[in-house]
Amino acid sequence: MNKKVKYIDWGLTDYQVAWDKQEVLFNETVAIKTKNRTENTQILTPNYLIFCEHPHVYTLGKSGKPENLLLDEKGLVEKQATYHKINRGGDITYHGPGQIVGYPILDLDHFFTDIHLYLRTLEEAVILTLADYGISAGRYPGYTGVWLDGDNEKARKICAMGVRCSRWVTMHGFAFNVNTDLTYFKNIVPCGIDDKDVTSMQRELGVMLDVEEVKTKLKMHIAALFDMELI
């Protein structure tokens, strides 16, 4: 079992560049697992927790509907945004500056082989981080992600999730709105949900947050919940 996880902060990174880098790490890990199984080797697989921010971009998951993007090519140019169809689960979402995007590339054989527990654990790390700032958050029945007032008509999402998992190796992850420009969500049907609002820590608290401080709290909660050692 390898519970050591390499923490990397890619900073502000183009979405396609980040996706390509994820694919390399993901494929390397899957290849090691395949070799261990077919050749009876015992090579330890690596684990990564990657944080970054992206320039304005909309991404559509493999189960998403293209019509949930409400902009044409001209509109994307005007918004200085790009658009990618990708291989994670979920529908359409937005990434941009002021948002913590997390890409855990983990071999869940080192932790637990339960994708639903994996998602709930990531959600719990965000919920605990928000609690550190006095924001009460939770879940919205039937949906992934982290929500405020998830039990009533004021429900609003503060963190979206969409993952890919193969041979118990994960990629993609979550998008946590800290100081995010929420006007960009008006150009999509976020996660395919057309009757719920989206929010951010900045909107809820009325002040700009120190994103680096939020990252530190979040990664510590992730490490504790997964019983991982960040290196």
What is the model's pLDDT at position 188? 86
What is the model's pLDDT at position 4? 96
Look up 52 and say whether it is catalytic.
no
DSSP assignment string, 60-76: E-TT--GGGB---HHHH
Answer whether 101's CB lies under 8 Å from 116's CB. no
What is the model's pLDDT at position 196? 75
What is the model's pLDDT at position 159? 97
Q: Which residues of the chain have pLDDT under 50?
A: none
Q: Model confidence over 115-160: pLDDT tens digits?
A: 999 999 999 999 999 999 999 999 998 889 999 998 888 899 999 9
Whether the predicted model's global pTM rises above the 0.85 cut? yes
Q: What is the CATH number of domain 4-230?
A: 3.30.930.10
Cα–Cα distances (Å) from 204 to 134, 182, 209, in that order, read 10, 12, 11
What sign has the CA pseudo-torsion 67, 68, 70, 76?
A: negative
- Residue 23: how many other CB atoms lie within 10 Å: 14
Annotated catalytic residue, options 52, 159, 165, 191: 191
With a CB cutoff of 8 Å and minimum separation 6, the contacts of 109 are: 33, 45, 168
Answer whether 5's CB lies under 8 Å from 47's CB. yes
